[in-house]
Amino acid sequence: MRPFRHRRLTAVVALATMLVTTAPPAAASADDSRNRRAGYHRVGYFTQWGIYGRAFPVKKLDTSGAASRLTHVNYAFGNVSEDGRCYVDGGPGEGDAWADYQRPVPAEESVDGVADAWGEPLNGNFGQLAKLKAKHPGLKVMISLGGWSWSTYFSNAARTDASRKAFVASCIDLYLKGNLPVLDGGSGGPGAAAGVFDGIDLDWEWPNWPGEPGNVVRPEDRQNFTELVAEFRRQLDAYGRTTRRHHPLTAFLPANPATMDAGYEGREIFRYLDFATVQGYDFHGAWDPVTNQQSALRVPSGAPDNPDFSAEVAIDGWLARGAPREKLVLGIPYYGRGWTGVSGSGNGLFQPATGPAPATFEAGYEDYRRLKTLAGNGFTVHRDLRAGHAWLFDGTTFWTYDDPAVVLQKTLYIRRAGLAGAMVWSLDGDDDNATLTKTIGLGLATP
C-alpha cells in the first residue's frame, strides 16, 4: 500500500487536535443515532469491572456521546465451564453476578435517571444496557465469551459435535433468551435478560496456542473452531426464525501470524461470521527489555525485531489467509504500555529499560484518559507519522499509546484498505468526553 504523504498526516494531526479542543455536542437524538450507524462497524468493549475503580457505569456511554457513535457494544465477558457450558460465574475473584444483574443501580448512575430496587429481575449492567438500547435504537449489544482469563475451557466446549451443540444451546439460553439464574434477593429468572443481547462474540484466546497458563489446548482446536462457529451460526439462525431477527456472530482474532496458522482455518471461518475484530495492540510491552510501540499502524524504521508486529502486518496476515477485507475490523487500544528506568539517549524509543512504568491499576498499563494528562506535564509527545504511532517520554519513563491523531490516521487506513470498521479495547479507557470514540466516529463517518 502506498504510504501516506507527510502533508496529509500533518493535516490529520491538526484535525485531531481540533477535535480534542472542541466542546462535546449534546447527546444525539434517536434519528441522529440511526444515521450515524450506517456504514462502518464501530465496536466498543464494555468491561464488567469498569464500574468499580474506573467509575465507568453504562450511563457514561450515553452522557459522553459514545453510544451514538457506536454500532456494537461487546460486554466483557461471559465464562465457559469445564464441562463446556455458558454459565454465570459468581466465584470470588472470577465472575461477578452482582455487577452483571443483581446490583441496584442508583439514580445518578442510571441511564434513564431511575434507580433500581433491590431484587428486581434485571438490575446491574445488564439492566442498564437494556435502557441504553431503548435510548439508542439500532445499537447492538453482544455478549463476548472468553477473554484472556476465561478461555480456559473453550477447547472442551468445541471438542465434539455433541459438546458444541450443548455449548451453543447453553449460551443462547442464558444470554439471548435471558434465562438467568435466580440470585439472593430474587434477581434473575426465566427471560429476565431477554432482549439485552443481540448476538455472540467469541473471544477464545487462543485455539491450539498458549494463552493464560492453565488453558486447555489441543491440536484439533483449529478445525474445531471452524465447527464451533458453524454451530453457532446454525443455532443463531434457528433462533432468529423465532424472533424474526438476525443475531450477529463475531470473533476476536490474533495479530500473531503463527497463532493464525495454528488455530484458524482462515477462509472457512468467515463463511459463518458477520465480521471479526483483529487485535491491533499489545505488540510490545514491559515484558520486553527495551521500549517499543504497542500498536503502531506500520512497523517503524529501526525497529529492533525482524519480523515485527503492526496493525498492517496483522490485517495483511488475515488477508493472505483468505479473510475478506470487508469482514475485518481493526482493533484500537484506549490504553498505553509503559516502561521506566529508560536509559540511552534521544526520544526514548528502542532504549533499554528496567521494568514496567508505575500506573494506576497495573504496572506498565495505563488508560488513555490518564496518559493524556501527562503531555506537557513533564512528558513530551513524540510521533512517527509514517509508522502511525505516538509515545510520551520524560527522560526516564516511556509510554506508547494512541492519541486522537493516531486514531484518526487509523480510520483513514481502514477506509483506504476497504476494511469493515474499528473496534476498541476498552471504552472505560477514554476520557469523559469520549474523545477517542468521537474521533473514530469522525474518521469513519459516512455521507
Place of cell 509503559: 338
DSSP E strand boundaries for 48-170: 72-80, 86-87, 140-146
Distance CA 302, CA 316 (A): 21
Residue 267 near residue 322, CB atoms below 8 Å = yes
Sole residue written with cell 498526516: 9
| Cell numbers placing 62 | 450515553
- Nearest Cα to Cα of residue 207 among 197, 217, 215, 195: 217
For 350, residues 6+ apart whose C-beta sits below 8 A from its C-beta are 290, 291, 292, 302, 303, 304
Q: For residue 318, what are the contacts with CB-CB under 8 A and spacing of at least 6?
A: 253, 260, 266, 276, 278, 328
Question: Which set of grid coordinates corresponds to residue 72?
Answer: 456494537
Cell numbers given for 288 = 520486553
> What are the grid coordinates assigned to 443, written together?
474518521
- Helices and strands, number each (H, E), in the chain: 14, 15
Amino acid at 443: G
Phi then psi for residue 213, to 5 deg, are -55, 135
Q: Determine the Cα–Cα distance for residues 82 and 167; give it in Å rounded to an integer.
A: 11
Catalytic residue among 94, 109, 205, 268: 205
**Alpha-carbon distances of 187 from 107, 228, 330, rounded to whole Å:** 18, 31, 37
Q: How far is it, in rounded angstroms, from Cα 253 to Cα 270? A: 12
Question: Which triple of cell numbers denotes residue 251?
Answer: 470473533
CA distance 47 to 426: 7
Side chain identity at residue 208, one-letter code: N
Q: Is residue 326 annotated as part of the catalytic site, yes or no?
A: no
* First-residue to last-residue Cα distance in the chain: 25
Report phi then psi at 176, rounded to 5.
-80, -45
Task: Find where cell 457494544 sits.
Answer: 73
Closest listed residue to residue 411, CA positions, set 6, 15, 2, 7: 15
Task: Give catalytic residue positions.
Answer: 205
